[in-house]
Amino acid sequence: MTSTALRKAELGATGLKITRVGFGAWAIGGGGYEGGWGPQDDEDSIAAIRHALALGVNWIDTAAHYGFGHSERVIGRALAGVEPRPYVFTKGGLPEGPGRTKTRSLRRDSLLREVEGSRERLGVEAIDLYQIHWPVPDEEIEEGWSTLAELKERGVVRHIGVSNFNVRQLRRAQAIAPVETLQPPYSLIDRRIEVELLPVAEREGIGMIVYSPMASGLLSGAMTRERIAALPADDWRRHSEEFREPQLTQNLELVERLRRVAARHDTTPGAVAVAWTLRNPAVTGAIAGFRRPEQVDPIVAAANLTLDKHDIATILRRK
């Protein structure tokens, strides 16, 4: 990738100006737990983070759940002594249970413990953006969101947001305190948020960062049937319907259309997939996961990639 400055955008009303592509740190949490990505080399993770920062990426998104703190610890190591520091966003609500199993709690005491653990692992006084990871248990949403509002008032976190909320759940939180950001899944394969959530975010000026814009690597251009068959046993994607038939054939056909568009722009299918999500005016930034430094350049290029009508028609198989 060239040294061209990455495009940035205002994240809602937070005052944060973020690069349109951010570093997603789910996979660097490694494997050995439900939702894991299989074995991961920490030195590769650190090198990938530092390379992304060198290219201009100015935010990292993680969660306490990713490796039950391991992703946050790796980020803390990678950022030790780094100036200027990128923004670091993390999430709570899925504390570790017995035998590296996840539990779900939005209770105040649980979230307070989680946020302190995240601050310690990340090595920060205040977390730039703290998010409820999932709106579960549903009956605890109000207590959880009130706790995040309290944390912001105390200065423990600078901004607060929610992940995986629908509009009804968003309204319940907004009745307590403003929701500054939303983080839903969004990709060419998963377009559910286009019906309600995207229009609401755009109309109300809520910052939106989307995750899995490459459908967990499926649209990266590097995923093949052989690679999928060889995924480690503790990689959650082995059990995903999108990585199995009959969806797999359709998804790989989509990748070939992305490849044709990528050839026009001298880029990669993955960058085109990410850029497709960024074309929506409600989307501020997209989270792209990286496990090694060589994966960064081809995808971060999406921050500066503009797709035209011909490109969109090719991707969506329109005449």
Q: Tell me the C-alpha distance between 37 and 232, whole Å.
A: 8
Contact by Cβ (8 Å): 211, 185: yes
List of E strands, 101-218: 101-102, 129-132, 160-163, 181-183, 207-210
Radius of gyration for the chain, computed over Cα atoms and rounded to the nearest angstrom: 19
Min mean pLDDT across 37-41, 45-49, 246-250 is at 246-250
- Under 8 Å CB-to-CB from 100, ≥6 apart: which residues? 32, 33, 68
- Rounded mean pLDDT, 85-90: 98
Condensed to tens digits (0 to 9), the pLDDT of residues 94-112 reads 999 998 889 999 999 999 9
Catalytic choice (66, 87, 186, 211): 66
Can you give the pTM of this predicted structure? 0.92
DSSP letter, residue 12? T
> Taking Cα atoms as reference points, which of 152, 174, 172, 216 lies closest to residue 14?
152
Q: Please compute the mean of the pLDDT values over residues 152-177 and round it to a whole number.
A: 98
Whether 186 is catalytic is: no
Closest CA to 164 of 188, 192, 142: 192
- Asked whether residue 319 carries a pLDDT value surpassing 80, the answer given is no
Residue 233's pLDDT band (boundaries 50, 70, 90)?
A: confident
Residue 2 clears pLDDT 70, i.e. is over it: no
pLDDT (tens digit, 9 = 90+) per residue, 271-284?
999 999 999 999 99
Q: How many Cβ atoms are within 10 Å of 66's Cβ, its own excluded?
A: 28
Domains, in order of start, for the chain? 8-218+268-307 (3.20.20.100)
In tens, the pLDDT along 75-87 reads: 999 999 999 999 9
- Residue 81: left if φ>0, alpha if ψ -120 to 50, beta else—which one? left
Residue-wise pLDDT for 174-229, tens only, equals 999 999 999 999 999 999 999 999 999 999 999 999 999 998 779 987 777 877 77
C-alpha distance across the termini of the chain, in Å: 32
Positive or negative CA dihedral for 46, 51, 53, 54?
A: positive
> What angle do the packed helices 269-278 and 247-265 form, to 10 degrees?
90
Tell me how far apart the alpha carbons of residues 183 and 89 are, in angstroms, rounded to a whole number: 11
In angstroms, the CA 187 to CA 185 distance is 7
- Mean of pLDDT values over 46-64: 98
What residues are paired with 17 via a beta bridge? 10
Strand partners, 102: 96
